[in-house]
Amino acid sequence: MTLSRIGATTLAQMRMMFRRRIVLFWSLVFPIILMALLGLLFGRSIDAGTITVIDASHTPASTAMVHALSTTKGVTVKTDQTDVAHARKQVQDGDRDALVVLTKTPAGATAAHLYYSNASATQAGIIRGIVSGASSRISVAATGSPPAIVYSQQSVDSSSLSYIDFLLPGILALAIMISAVIGLSTVLVTWRKQGVLRRLKLTPMPLWEFLVARVAASLTLALLQVAVLITFGALVFGVSISPTAWAAIPVALVGALCFLVMGFTVGSLVAEPETADAVTNVITNPMMFLSGTFYPVAAMPAFVQTIAKVLPLYYMTNALRDTIVRDRGLMYVMPDIGVLLAVTAVLAIVSLRTFRWE
Amino acid sequence: MVAIQVDSLTKRYGEHVAVDGISFQVEQGEAFGILGPNGAGKTTTLEMIEGLRKPDSGQVHVLGRPVWPDPRSVQSLIGVQLQSTTLFDRLTSRELLELFACFYNRSDGSERAQLVLEQVGLVGKADAYADDMSGGQQQRLAIALALVHDPDVVFLDEPTTGLDPQARRNLWDVIRAIHADAGKTVVLTTHYLEEAETLCDRVAIMDESRVIALDTPAGLIASLGAEVRISYTEGGEEQVAYAHDAQGAVLETLEAARQRGAQIEGLSVRGPSLEDVFLKLTGREFRE
């Protein structure tokens, strides 16, 4: 009986949710508009710039590195320099964007040293990402038996993605976060204020069932957001969706659950709907700008990167980006899922201790 | 058989005693009214019986079962319309009723929904959202929700407060039908004297946290020991007197006024009402 009751309650919650046009606008239409606007404003790809490569080692690894860099989208590789000091001066003067020097270590390994300018923090971050990504790829591959390595363009790093590819998972994470936090905070406070929770208390149905139904309805909305945004991204904006994109479904569900519990915590602590809205904004706005939604966290100052790593949206964004456009499967994003589940557990304990009916 | 047994029920909020050791019984099938001015303790009393507010001392039994400490044992026996419940938006009357029927694990939700919609005269609004309905219609929906699981005892907390006279009279017909036709025990609070008088078999008058009188409306009025109430204004002050014999009392009043050379105005003679009972018991006018 309880299962059928939860089912009927979930259906009612879905009706309440989907019959509100404003909910549909913020959760589905607005993200698409945002994606279109940002896509138009910032063009199709991030241009990493021109990198000078001086290969003084001539190992298979160094050759592979030069190849990897020169096939990275948005990167122009120049091998016309031999003098490191002169090449460094070029980077300092802004004639080139970075310099990579490849040398042989006494142990026989290949060392890559990157010189870059901080004149543009974003560009420096992108270049750091590209070069460190390429070198780590080669290091991994070098431990295997054949020294010759084949590189696909996509697998190098996020910075090789076109901007719209980069943007789609970020906006999806953002949209799910906002829908989920608001979906439980403001709603819970309003229910309490209007006496709906008291009225429910008079029925034999326990409150947890009612909340489970709400969570189920909200998770359905999250799945709808995944489907609509990915479809729109692929068909209208030409985002190249990885075959691993199905793994975005568990990531989206766990992320949505985390932010629903966050909304429930706000709803448990706050008495007025207006306060709930304000608190929700205070929580979600910084996350929106610090979690790599619109630009790579790697391109931000170091202290911002530290802050990002305590924000749940950072992990959700990363995991969605990995699975939707970076060809990475569920196992790869398990650490991100783990962080989201841990945050969920902590918030659940806090909110259950502070929950009030009236 | 006793539907509700209340013994020495007390509720305090800090220093303030909201309900002060009240006791009464409600018989099954009775329409029982708790009448009193705002702040008398009516709603607190009702909420302690419904299981929403835990009493500080005293006991409540509904159909023989103790409400406290675990109100769940009486939940399916009682139906409650709270004083102010804004219901979920974006659900129609019918959907809400079916949902509530489902909360009580009833499998006949759609039949029950249709039945109570008919009972409260809301069939025409079955597919409307609550926020698109008038105040009177919303109250009727709240009563329908209290009835949907077919409870034995129905609690209505100030059901007609804030309604215009026409809507109030319509709602009275609904409440009468629940009591008379459906045979439910109805307990209602009100601060409308006329409402208590016309709807209730028995009325408990509450004032300052206590029950100060309890009887049938006719019995309460008879306790005044008067057949008529005579009132007039003399020198700007209203005078009220009670008497057995209307004709004799009017003549006496006029004669007395003539003898002392006073000018009296607005002489009115009518049968006494619950208002007079309240005035006599408290020395204060009942302000609705």
- B57-62 and B65-66: which strand pairing? antiparallel
pLDDT score for A142: 56
Contacts of B89 in chain A (CB under 8 A): 16, 20
Using a CB–CB cutoff of 8 Å, tell me whether A195 touches chain B.
yes
Q: Would you say residue A101 has pLDDT above 70? A: yes
Of A150, A344, A177, A153, give the one whose Cα is nearest residue A265. A344
Whether residues B103 and A5 touch (CB distance < 8 A) is answered with yes
pLDDT score for B284: 81
pLDDT band with cut points at 50, 70 and 90 for residue A238 = confident
**CA separation, residue A102 to residues A18, A37, A64, B115 (Å):** 58, 41, 11, 84
Range A189-205 average pLDDT: 88
Whether residues A204 and B103 touch (CB distance < 8 A) is answered with yes
Cβ(B213)–Cβ(B22) under 8 Å? Answer: no
pLDDT score for A159: 42
Q: Which residue of B has its CA nearest to A358?
A: B52
Q: Read out DSSP for A42-111?
A: H-SB---EEEEEEE-S--HHHHHHHHHHHTSTTEEEE-----HHHHHHHHHHTSSSEEEEEEE-TTS-EE
Using a CB–CB cutoff of 8 Å, tell me whether B89 touches chain A.
yes
A105/A177 same-domain check: no
Residue ending a domain, choose from A96, A121, A155:
A155
Phi (first) and psi of residue A198, to 5 degrees: -65, -40
- Count the Cβ atoms, other than its own, within 10 Å of residue B95: 20
Range A75-96 average pLDDT: 83
Range A264-288 average pLDDT: 90
pLDDT score for A82: 83
Using a CB–CB cutoff of 8 Å, tell me whether A200 touches chain B.
yes
* Cis bond upstream, residue A206 (ω within 30): no
Quick one: DSSP state of residue B287? P
pLDDT score for A140: 61
Residue ending a domain, choose from A117, A135, A155:
A155
Domains in chain A, number: 2
A36/A151 same-domain check: no
Quick one: DSSP state of residue B80? E
Lowest-confidence segment of A83-92, A286-295, B80-89, B153-162 by average pLDDT: B80-89
The residues of chain B scoring below 70 in pLDDT are 85-86, 287-288
Q: Would you say residue A120 has pLDDT above 80? A: no
Contacts of A5 in chain B (CB under 8 A): 102-103, 105
The whole-chain average pLDDT of chain A stands at 84
Q: Which of residues 95-124 of B touch A (CB under 8 A)?
A: 95, 98-100, 102-105
Residue ending a domain, choose from A136, A155, A174:
A155
Express each pLDDT in A315-356 by its tens digit.
999 999 999 998 899 999 999 999 999 999 999 999 888 887
Token pair 């809301």 in the structure block, residue: B122
A253/A277 same-domain check: yes
Token pair 């390429």 in the structure block, residue: A134
**CA separation, residue A342 to residues A291, A333, B160 (Å):** 18, 14, 51
A186/A311 same-domain check: yes
Q: Which residue of A has its CA nearest to B109?
A: A8
Express each pLDDT in B153-187 by its tens digit.
999 999 998 888 888 999 999 999 999 888 899 99
pLDDT score for A147: 35
A120/A253 same-domain check: no
Token pair 């109430």 in the structure block, residue: B229
Q: Which two tokens stand for residue A208?
A: 């947890």
Of A73, A40, A123, A70, give the one whose Cα is nearest residue A240. A73
A111/A234 same-domain check: no
- pTM surpassing 0.90? no
Of A65, A142, A55, give the one whose Cα is nearest residue A102. A55
pLDDT score for B28: 93
Q: Which residues contact B132 (CB under 8 A, 6 or more apart)?
A: none
pLDDT score for B46: 94
Q: Would you say residue A167 has pLDDT above 70? A: yes
pLDDT band with cut points at 50, 70 and 90 for residue A154 = very low
Distance from CA of B132 to the nearest CA of A (A): 14
Contacts of A8 in chain B (CB under 8 A): 98-99, 102
Supply the ipTM of this predicted assembly: 0.84
Give kind and range of the element (H or E) at residue A34: helix A30-42
Amino acid at A95: D
A168/A308 same-domain check: yes
Rounded to a whole number of angstroms, the CA Rg of chain A reads: 24
Q: Would you say residue A77 has pLDDT above 50? A: yes
A138/A172 same-domain check: no
pLDDT score for A156: 32
A13/A76 same-domain check: no
Kindly tell me the sign of the dihedral angle through the C-alpha atoms of A104, A106, A108, A111: negative
Q: What is the CATH classification number for the domain harbouring A125? A: 3.40.1710.10
Contacts of A20 in chain B (CB under 8 A): 89-90
Burial of residue A315 (CB within 10 Å: 0-12, 13-18, 19+) is buried
Number of A to B CB contacts under 8 A, please give it: 65
Contacts of A205 in chain B (CB under 8 A): 103-104
Containing domain of residue A121, as a range? 50-155
Kindly tell me the sign of the dihedral angle through the C-alpha atoms of B213, B214, B217, B221: negative
Whether residues A15 and B84 touch (CB distance < 8 A) is answered with no
d(CA B261, CA A235) in angstroms, rounded, equals: 100
A149/A175 same-domain check: no
A255/A123 same-domain check: no
Cβ(A212)–Cβ(A218) under 8 Å? Answer: no
- Range list of H helices, chain B: 42-50, 72-75, 93-103, 109-119, 135-147, 165-180, 193-199, 217-222, 246-259, 274-282
pLDDT score for A149: 34
Query: What percentage of chain A's residues is helix, strand, coil (to nearest 5)?
Result: 65, 10, 25
A126/A9 same-domain check: no
pLDDT band with cut points at 50, 70 and 90 for residue A121 = low
Whether residues A204 and B87 touch (CB distance < 8 A) is answered with no
**CA separation, residue A248 to residues A33, A257, A325 (Å):** 21, 14, 10
Cβ(B38)–Cβ(B75) under 8 Å? Answer: no
Residue among A4, A16, A196 minimizing CB distance to B90: A16
